[in-house]
């Protein structure tokens, strides 16, 4: 996805092989999501989960005719998964065989539970076998209803004016095994869009920075009114605050770190890197003994990666036998 030349929306998929360091465009089957930007793509359980985003890029210099519907038409609440088809799925065509490019399949996920509202510019990560979605910009109904919208856009516009949007502080978890969403603790003072979110050893979520400023119009131009709760957010519309969410207690914590702090920002990216090397002799297995596994059936096992001193790794990604 993304936005390409002449601000045209894209919905193609490309693959970078880290062993050969070569790009390719694999065959993709199924019905893909709409052409999205400002969405998230999170690797989890051998697949890629794509959530939210903008289905139409905002036009420059005013309200575009394509945006004169409700904002939910621009912001997506859909969850899709992109996974590799197995040979048993009859995906190997004439070019199949060892070394052939994998065939990928799009699937729309119909999940139960309390799902997130439509949003874009949110943050997402995987931790503990679940997908977490935090913050983002969501449409909302302003105080004053239709009168407030007419005052913002002026009378005589064709169709219903788009709803304004604002940063939110919601945190959701999606369990791919039960295919169910759950809404977790909300932190009113943490309204964020364009922030970052990373999982730490399956126990914590770390979020840094983001925009927490005023409510903006659907075209992301003029602010309609100031933020709702003065004093709950920083004076600047963006921040360099670092917070942690503990998955065990379901509580938020504001963290402080020594050294030179990054300047306040939003729209950035973050990643967790553990420089230690995984030592297979110190790794442990959770989820039940392998002796109870049945051939041909799925066994849910979790490998806890540890380094040569027996310390638990904070991030994965290693391949070992």
Encode pLDDT of 141-200 as tens digits. 766 555 554 554 454 444 455 677 888 999 999 999 999 999 997 776 788 999 999 998
Side-chain-side CA neighbours of residue 250 (13 Å): 9
pLDDT in tens, 100-155: 678 999 999 999 999 999 999 999 999 988 999 999 999 877 665 555 545 544 54
- The whole-model pTM stands at 0.73
For residues 261 and 242, the answer to whether their CB atoms sit within 8 Å is no
Task: Say if strands 40-44 and 47-51 run parallel, antiparallel, or are unpaired.
Answer: antiparallel
> Do the beta carbons of residue 284 and residue 304 sit within 8 Å?
yes
Quick one: tokens of 114? Answer: 């309390």
Region of poorest pLDDT, from 42-56, 79-93, 175-189:
79-93
Q: Distance between CA atoms of 116 and 170, rounded to whole angstroms? A: 8
The model's pLDDT over 260-313, given as tens digits with 9 standing for 90+, comes to 999 999 999 999 876 566 666 666 666 666 667 777 777 666 667 777 677 766
Alpha helix stretches (DSSP H) within the chain? 145-153
């Amino acid at each position: 996805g993304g936005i390409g030349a002449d601000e045209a929306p894209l919905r193609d998929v490309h693959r970078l092989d880290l062993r050969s360091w070569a790009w390719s465009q694999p065959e993709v089957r199924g019905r893909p999501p709409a052409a999205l930007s400002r969405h998230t793509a999170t690797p989890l359980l051998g697949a890629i989960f794509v959530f939210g985003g903008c289905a139409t890029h905002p036009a420059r210099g005013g309200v575009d005719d394509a945006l004169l519907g409700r904002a939910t038409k621009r912001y997506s609440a859909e969850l899709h998964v992109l996974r590799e088809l197995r040979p048993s799925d009859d995906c190997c065509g004439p070019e199949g065989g060892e070394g052939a490019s994998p065939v990928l399949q799009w699937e729309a996920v119909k999940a139960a539970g309390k799902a997130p509202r439509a949003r874009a510019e949110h943050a997402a990560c995987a931790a503990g076998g679940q997908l977490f979605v935090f913050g983002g910009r969501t449409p909302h109904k302003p105080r004053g209803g239709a009168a407030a919208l007419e005052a913002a856009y002026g009378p005589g516009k064709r169709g219903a004016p788009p709803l304004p949007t604002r940063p939110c502080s919601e945190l959701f978890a999606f369990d791919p095994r039960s295919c169910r969403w759950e809404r977790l603790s909300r932190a009113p003072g943490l309204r964020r869009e364009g922030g970052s979110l990373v999982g730490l050893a399956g126990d914590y979520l770390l979020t840094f920075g983001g925009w927490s400023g005023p409510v903006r119009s659907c075209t992301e131009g003029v602010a309609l009114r100031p933020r709702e709760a003065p004093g709950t957010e920083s004076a600047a519309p963006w921040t360099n605050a670092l917070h942690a969410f503990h998955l065990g207690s379901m509580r938020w914590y504001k963290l402080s770190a020594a050294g030179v702090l990054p300047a306040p920002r939003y729209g950035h990216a973050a990643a967790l890197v553990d420089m230690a090397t995984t030592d297979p002799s110190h790794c442990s297995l959770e989820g039940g003994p392998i002796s109870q596994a049945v051939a041909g059936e799925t066994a849910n096992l979790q490998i806890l990666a540890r380094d040569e001193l027996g310390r638990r790794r904070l991030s994965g990604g290693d391949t070992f036998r």
